[in-house]
């Protein structure tokens, strides 16, 4: 009874008990999977009878041309997609906020796109931006290009424009929904007070609105970054076989029938997780520095 009373009387304990099932699932599948990947990347393969601790898989990955060429591509796709989706999502949210009664319909439209799988979005981008797609046909019809050969390569290109386009199309509504949810009545009151004190529209946006959005939008941006850098289906449909993002290289090595290549696949997966964590950590550091300067 004393334990039950302590749990029910303490808000912290009550939240901990409510979050315990979800944290248990995260601990088993995420932390356990990450630990297993790390162990296998260091040479622990009980099924093959090999239990030597070594960094051979990391050395092999560092000299593999497929991995070395994939790092820059992965960073470019993840960072550009996240930045563009964040800027466009916040911009759309600011516009929708001024629509009045139309805000409800636009919010529902944004929410409706969240249910569309990335696989469907990748197929749609391929039908739109491929050399024989709808955009190419329209450009040919109005005289911008003489044929599909002159249409720029936007799908299965070296830069990854098609992959970035799909991520931006899919994640911009997500960022807009997060930003709209953060625009509460408290934000309206703060803007009214700043307007009364003589702040111009740009000053209200810079010193009131955006600081109120940085925490929820920043958290959503980290989720988008982690997804765009680790997704498989979009780059395998819209990207080139070589160079391919790290997620594709990892899956190809993992699905190899030769089990001796499994440590290198796990090493690339650990490298991908490390890169994502470093970028997210740098972003959080920048946010903290920005908040300290404002205070």
Q: Give domain status of residue 264, yes or no.
A: yes
Question: What domain count does the chain have?
Answer: 1
pLDDT of the residue at 88: 93
Q: Give domain status of residue 40, yes or no.
A: yes
Q: Give domain status of residue 2, yes or no.
A: no
Q: Give domain status of residue 23, yes or no.
A: no
What's the domain range around 96?
34-294
Q: Give domain status of residue 12, yes or no.
A: no
pLDDT of the residue at 2: 56
Q: Give domain status of residue 105, yes or no.
A: yes
Q: Give domain status of residue 200, yes or no.
A: yes
DSSP for the chain reads -HHHHHHHH-HHHHHHHHHHHHHHHHIIIIIHHHHHHHHHHTT-BGGGTB----SHHHHHHHH-HHHHHHHHHHHHHHHHHHHHHHHHHHHHHHHHHTTTTHHHHHHHHHHHHTTS-HHHHHHHHHHHHSTTSHHHHHHHHTTS-SSGGGS---SS-SS-HHHHHHHHHHHHHHHHHHHHHH--HHHHHHHHHHHHTT--HHHHIIIIIHHHHHHHHHHHHHHHHHHHHH--HHHHHHS-SSS--HHHHHHHHHT-S-GGGHHHHHHHHHHHHHHHHHHHHHHHHHHHHHHHHH-
pLDDT of the residue at 164: 93
CATH number at residue 154: 1.10.3720.10
Question: What is the residue-level pLDDT of the chain in tens, covering all 295 positions?
Answer: 455 555 556 676 777 777 788 888 878 887 888 888 888 888 777 666 667 778 888 888 888 888 888 988 999 999 999 999 999 999 888 888 777 666 677 777 777 788 888 888 889 898 888 888 888 888 878 877 777 777 888 888 888 899 999 999 999 999 988 888 888 767 778 777 877 777 777 877 777 788 888 888 888 999 899 899 988 889 999 988 888 899 998 888 888 777 777 888 888 888 888 888 888 888 888 877 877 776 6
Q: Give domain status of residue 15, yes or no.
A: no
């Amino acid at each position: 009874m004393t334990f039950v009373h302590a749990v029910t009387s303490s808000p912290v304990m009550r939240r901990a008990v409510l979050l315990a099932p979800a944290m248990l699932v995260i601990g088993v599948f995420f932390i356990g999977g990450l630990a297993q990947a790390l162990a296998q990347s260091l040479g622990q393969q009980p099924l093959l009878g090999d239990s030597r601790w070594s960094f051979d898989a990391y050395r092999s990955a560092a000299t593999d041309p497929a991995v070395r060429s994939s790092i820059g591509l992965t960073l470019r796709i993840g960072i550009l997609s996240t930045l563009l989706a964040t800027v466009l999502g916040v911009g759309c949210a600011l516009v929708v906020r001024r629509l009045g009664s139309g805000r409800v319909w636009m919010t529902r439209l944004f929410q409706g796109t969240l249910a569309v799988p990335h696989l469907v979005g990748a197929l749609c981008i391929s039908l739109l931006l491929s050399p024989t797609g709808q955009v190419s046909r329209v450009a040919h019809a109005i005289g911008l290009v003489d044929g599909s050969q002159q249409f720029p390569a936007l799908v299965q290109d070296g830069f990854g424009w098609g992959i970035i386009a799909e991520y931006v199309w899919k994640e911009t509504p997500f960022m807009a929904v997060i930003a709209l949810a953060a625009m509460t009545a408290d934000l309206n009151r703060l803007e009214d007070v700043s307007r009364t004190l003589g702040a111009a529209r740009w000053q209200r946006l810079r010193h009131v609105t955006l600081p109120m959005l940085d925490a929820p939008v920043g958290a959503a941006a980290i989720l988008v970054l982690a997804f765009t850098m680790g997704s498989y289906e979009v780059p395998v449909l819209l990207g080139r076989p070589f160079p391919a993002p790290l997620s594709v290289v990892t899956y190809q090595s993992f699905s190899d029938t030769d089990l001796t290549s499994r440590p290198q696949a796990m090493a690339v997966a650990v490298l991908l997780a490390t890169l994502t964590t470093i970028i997210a950590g740098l972003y959080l550091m920048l946010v903290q520095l920005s908040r300290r300067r404002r205070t």
